[in-house]
Amino acid sequence: MSEHTARIVWARGAAERFVDSRYSRVHTWEFDGGVRVAASSAVTSVPLPYSNADNVDPEEAFVAAIASCHMLTFLFLAARRGLVVDSYDDLARGTMSQDARGRFWLSAVRLAPQIAFSGSTPPGDALVDGLHHEAHEECYIANSVRTEITVVCAWTHRGG
């Protein structure tokens, strides 16, 4: 099996008391390849100026992880079937809800990929839908969460 790591780095500002909850939630995610991502709480959870709307928040990252895993699995499956994918553009959206105990959670993620294929033959709706279903079944992230994940796909074929 494999292990995956991320370092999350935050420090209290010198002028911040902390115990009054008036402290910055801005922090950094550091990944093993050297990539650093500016992160923060979502401004819908912690208002400005204690959050930074320009930074990635955990809710966005969760949605991105689901969408990215689905895309990578879809591309692998399409290539294995001899399909040529020219582009894949997904504006994924997560929905926050409250559960029966009043706890907030990302209850649903809607993937909406726009996919362009080329090659001699268009893949057809049934094949594209089947690839999305298989990608969902094989996606490591989708298999790790209780969030409802739906896919609404549009695709085109450029011929060639």
One domain, residues 25 and 71: no
Q: Is the pLDDT assigned to residue 159 strictly greater than 80?
A: no
Q: Is pLDDT at 160 greater than 90 in this prediction?
A: no
Q: Helix (H, G, I), strand (E, B), or coil: what is residue 144? A: helix
Predicted pLDDT at 49 = 96
Question: In this structure, are 80 and 32 located in the same domain?
Answer: no
Residue type present at position 29: W
- Output 121 or 74, whichever has higher pLDDT: 74
Instruction: Looking at the structure, tell me whether residues 73 and 134 fall in a common domain.
Output: yes
Q: What is the pLDDT of residues 12-40, one digit of tens each?
A: 999 999 999 999 999 999 999 999 999 99
Name the domain count of the chain. 2
- In terms of domains, do 18 and 86 share one? no
Domain hosting 66: range is 58-157
pLDDT tens for 87-116 read: 999 999 999 999 999 999 999 999 999 999
H-helix segments, 24-151: 58-80, 125-138
Domain of 82: which CATH number? Answer: 3.30.300.20
Residues 52 and 71 in one domain: no
CA–CA gap between residue 118 and residue 127 (Å, rounded): 15
For all residues of the chain together, what is the average pLDDT?
96
- DSSP tag of 56: B
Same domain, yes or no: 114 and 150 = yes
Q: How far apart are CA 71 and CA 92, in angstroms?
A: 11
Mean pLDDT of 57-85: 98
